Structure 1
Amino acid sequence: MRRGLTVRVLGSALIAGAWPLLAHAASVQELVSQGNGHGAPPCQSCHGADGAGQAAAGFPRLAGLDAAYVARQLADYAAGTRANAVMQPIARALSEDERQAIGTYYSRLPVPAIPPSSQPSANDLGATLATRGRWSQRVPACEQCHGPGGVGVGAHFPPLAGQPASYIEAQLKAWQQGARRNDPLQLMQHLSRALSAEDIAAVAKWFAAQPLPAGSGGR
């Protein structure tokens, strides 16, 4: 085969091989920015074009979260083990492949820089619960599962650092009230019931104030 023809043939093969990936990437971008046309609205309408979320509205950051964690939360919304009047119908309108694609998409987004905020003191109630726990009530430190400063650990313990305080508080109350039941070994259901409203507000505020360096996603 002549060299010029070989290059054209190989080039066509590479384009053909790349096309499904390019089409998939385009479809994921459309899914996030436009919705799927089957009942799921654009993800970015609540979570922002950069996946940073909206602190004022209590919408969490998705950028940089573990892909498996995001996909599993969507599946749990669809199954009803995580109750939310907004997210449940959206999750049910997504296919399993779409949930996986959304998880992968957000895991690869850079983690947005978080504006500096005043840090609670080391003896603050929220800091105590987050870093030392309350062993008299068998409440371990939040950092034992969610990592130092709440940076997150794997697919089961998401980052808490820099998430809106209103979002963290709402999730603790959801576990406490049984509206959310998708935690490993029901750890959060048990722990949340040992916390008072004051405890929940304090620890949510502490994690919201923790710095999370900007960088690449994909943890």
Structure 2
Amino acid sequence: MLLQAIQAGQLPCIPVLARFLTAGTLGLMLCLAGPHNTFAIQEEIENGRRIALQGTKEVRCARCHGKLGQGDGSEGHPRIGGQSRFYLQKQLEDFASGTRPSEEMVPVARVLTEKQRAAVAAYYASIKNTPYPPRPEGEPRLLQQGGILSAIGSDKRSIRACALCHATAGAGIPPSYPYLAGQFASYTERQLQLWKRGLRQNDSLELMAEIAKKLSDEEIRGLALYFARVRLPAKRINSLTEYEP
């Protein structure tokens, strides 16, 4: 399972890696997969900026995802600014190969060359001032339910906490695990439903499908609303109680 994930370009989250690796080996792998893989050279970023903003004959990313990667709130146009380059590039490659289905993104990704996909990923990953959308309104009970599942999961139902791979309050763990904080609720809810129904399968470890299938529709909605309301400050915060959804 671990070898399959690595071959697919997906670095498992810490709890999964810990089952297989010694501390020294894990440290080496994290160093090799660290910051130097999430930052592109300036020329590549500029090339990605031109593709995203000015477009090619068939593609202009900013039309749906915005100049700063802010998205537009629809199910298919998420907030992507500041997401890790590795993660963004992997999603584009998965769209291009058909591993991740999408009526909108598959044809877009296939029009771009591999080099162009890498450049677009580098550009959006380089953005550090992507605006947050307005916080959605949500029933307090659902928000509380989402926050609990995010932080501690459910031992009784064998549901892993989101924080194990996506970090406290959905801050993300680059390079493989995206931030969820500030993501549009409609997008997060849609993706969890796709995992739950087996329509999204581009996770070689199958962790997302395993978790999503155990969640009720109400719990999925609660998680989506919770993450959509979280705002991460510039400084690192380690306690969930310091985030105000």
Shorter-chain TM-score bucket reads 0.7 to 0.9
Bigger mean CA deviation after superposition, 180-189 or 56-65: 56-65
Question: What corresponds to 2:180 in structure 1?
Answer: 160
Superposed, which structure 2 residues align to 1:24-103 within 5 Å? 26-37=46-57, 39=58, 41-55=59-73, 59-103=77-121
> Which has more radius of gyration?
1
* Overall identity of the aligned pairs, in %: 37
Amino acid at match of 2:154: R
Amino acid at match of 1:65: Q
Is 1:204 paired with 2:224? yes
Q: CA deviation at 1:24?
A: 5.2
2: CA distance between counterparts of 1:85 and 1:130? 30
Alignment TM-score, normalising by the size of structure 2: 0.72
Gaps of 5+ in 1: 1-20
1: CA distance between counterparts of 2:131 and 2:234? 5
Question: What corresponds to 2:37 in structure 1?
Answer: none
Q: Which runs of 4+ in 1 moved over 3 A?
A: 21-27, 115-123
Q: CA deviation at 1:212?
A: 2.5
Alignment TM-score, normalising by the size of structure 1: 0.80
Amino acid at match of 1:159: Y
Task: Give the length in aligned residue pairs.
Answer: 193
Amino acid at match of 1:201: R
Task: Return closer, same or farther for 1:109/1:181 CA change in 2, 3 Å cut-off.
Answer: same
Amino acid at match of 1:84: S
Q: CA deviation at 1:96?
A: 0.6
Instruction: Give per-residue Cα distances to partners, 1:91-129, cap 9 Å, x unaligned.
Output: 111111011111111111123243674785798111111
Task: Return closer, same or farther for 1:113/1:29 CA change in 2, 3 Å cut-off.
Answer: closer
Task: Return closer, same or farther for 1:23/1:159 CA change in 2, 3 Å cut-off.
Answer: closer
Instruction: Give per-residue Cα distances to partners, 1:177-214, cap 9 Å, x unaligned.
Output: 22211124110011111011111101110010001336
Task: Return closer, same or farther for 1:173/1:99 CA change in 2, 3 Å cut-off.
Answer: same
Superposed, which structure 2 residues align to 1:130-209 within 5 Å? 130-209=150-229
Question: What corresponds to 2:21 in structure 1?
Answer: none
Amino acid at match of 1:152: G
Bigger mean CA deviation after superposition, 172-181 or 158-167: 172-181
